[in-house]
């Protein structure tokens, strides 16, 4: 089956620094990837949709200048949390859509997630 | 406001027993209902995608039903095994390409 990797699996950083999280589709080309965030005891919340070769589409309330998304190739999307603050501490998880299954949210393949802690 | 509710939040089931849990979602503008199994430290794994009212899907001992008119889906596990211990996520997607996840049902299988 389709595999999506995410790196790092956890990261601790100091307040004010930036952190980059990578999401890779290992055995398929993903024109669209999604970034989610999950706070404790809450549901996965879609942050943005990342489209290869174009700008990401951000959900309402998500600051695009703070959460920079780059989808420069068909197998890699990156999320950079800029000037991180303790309130950005969360679980970030990406997913990729295999284009052979068409549009919509069919057949999303998730990475294992990244636990970010900002001190 | 689009909301997906899953109940119960947590469930302990004796090994060998069958169980089920619920996902409630908006009944309007429906596109698809998804179930995922999420084991700790692993990626969520897709179980089912259902699109039609009355859909029933089965994968081994796990099955799911869908009622889009009243906005609910049930997930059933027959003869629970320790490997079924996981969080089961439900997600609703609408025709505007929005996907909303529930908080999940955490299932613990007791030996």
What average pLDDT does this structure show over B47-74? 95
By C-alpha distance, the chain A residue nearest B92 is A105
B90 touches chain A (CB under 8 A): no
Kindly list the residues from chain B whose CB atom is less than 8 angstroms away from the CB atom of residue A60: none
Question: Are B43 and A41 in contact (CB < 8 Å)?
Answer: no
pLDDT at B15 over 80: yes
Rounded Cα distance between A53 and A37, Å, is: 23
- Residue B22, by phi and psi: left (phi above 0), alpha (psi -120 to 50) or beta? beta
Question: Are A103 and B43 in contact (CB < 8 Å)?
Answer: no
- HSE-up (13 A, CA, CB side) for residue B48: 22
Quick one: pLDDT band at residue B58, thresholds 50, 70, 90?
very high
Q: What is the pLDDT of residue A107?
A: 72
Asked if residues A76 and A23 have their Cβ atoms less than 8 Å apart, the reply is yes
Question: Are A112 and B43 in contact (CB < 8 Å)?
Answer: yes
Predicted confidence (pLDDT) per residue in A72-116, tens digit: 888 999 999 999 999 999 999 999 987 666 555 567 899 999 999
Nearest residue to B44 (alpha-carbon basis) of B99, B97, B1 = B99
Nearest residue to B88 (alpha-carbon basis) of B111, B55, B67, B59 = B59
B32 touches chain A (CB under 8 A): yes
């Amino acid at each position: 089956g389709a595999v999506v990797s995410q790196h790092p699996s956890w990261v601790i950083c100091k307040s004010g620094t930036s952190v980059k999280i990578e999401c890779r589709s290992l055995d398929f080309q993903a024109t669209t990837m999604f970034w989610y965030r999950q706070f404790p005891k809450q549901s996965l919340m879609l942050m943005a949709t990342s489209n290869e070769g174009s700008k990401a589409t951000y959900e309402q309330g998500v600051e695009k200048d703070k959460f920079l998304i780059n989808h420069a190739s068909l197998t890699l999307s990156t999320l950079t949390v800029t000037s991180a603050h303790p309130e950005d501490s969360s679980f970030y998880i990406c997913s990729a859509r295999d284009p052979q299954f068409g549009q919509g949210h069919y057949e999303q393949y998730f990475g294992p997630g990244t636990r970010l802690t900002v001190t | 406001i689009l909301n997906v509710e899953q109940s119960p939040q947590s469930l302990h089931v004796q090994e060998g027993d069958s169980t089920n849990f619920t996902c409630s979602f908006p009944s309007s503008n429906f596109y698809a209902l998804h179930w995922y199994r999420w084991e700790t430290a692993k990626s969520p794994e897709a179980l089912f995608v259902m699109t039609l009212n009355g859909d029933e899907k089965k994968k081994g001992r796990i099955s799911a039903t869908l009622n889009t008119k009243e906005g609910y889906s049930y997930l059933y596990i027959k003869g629970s095994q320790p490997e079924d211990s996981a969080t089961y996520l439900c997600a609703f997607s609408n025709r505007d390409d929005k996907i909303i996840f529930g908080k999940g049902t955490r299932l613990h299988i007791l030996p």
